């Protein structure tokens, strides 16, 4: 695949990802996008009302915003590490091909 076709396909993939991220926000009005933790807690409360958790969290964020910040920072760090590893191995394989 030549460089211009690859560039176009990359932009199409980016546009597709953005579209898939925005469409649910547009078409699902008034929906609550709650996390799985809250839903699991509700389900456990329905099944066994007197349930006590086995342990407590070591650190409880002061607000939902701080919790979201920590979660997104963790996701960004993980994506950076994965991106670095992919780039490193791709660069090594290109160097190997250039040597041959």
- pLDDT, one tens digit per residue, over 27-81 is 877 777 667 777 888 899 899 988 888 888 888 888 888 888 999 999 999 999 9
Answer yes or no: is pLDDT of 84 > 90: yes
Domain boundaries, the chain: 1-30, 63-100
Q: How far apart are the first and last CA of the chain?
A: 22
Reading the block at residue 15, the tokens are 């546009």
Interatomic CA distance for residues 100 and 98, integer angstroms: 5
What DSSP state is assigned to residue 41? Answer: H
Interatomic CA distance for residues 47 and 77, integer angstroms: 37
User: Full-prediction pTM beyond 0.85?
Assistant: no
Given this model, what pLDDT does residue 1 score?
Answer: 57
What is the Cβ-side half-sphere exposure of residue 55, based on CA atoms within 13 angstroms?
Answer: 3
């Amino acid at each position: 695949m030549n460089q211009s076709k690859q560039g176009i396909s990359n932009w199409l993939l980016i546009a597709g990802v953005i579209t898939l991220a925005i469409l649910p926000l547009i078409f699902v009005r008034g929906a609550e996008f709650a996390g799985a933790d809250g839903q699991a807690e509700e389900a456990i409360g329905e099944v066994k009302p007197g349930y006590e958790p086995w342990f407590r969290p070591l650190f409880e964020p002061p607000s939902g915003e701080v919790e979201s910040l920590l979660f997104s920072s963790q996701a960004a760090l993980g994506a950076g590490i994965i991106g670095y590893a992919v780039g490193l191995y791709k660069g090594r394989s290109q160097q190997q091909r250039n040597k041959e």
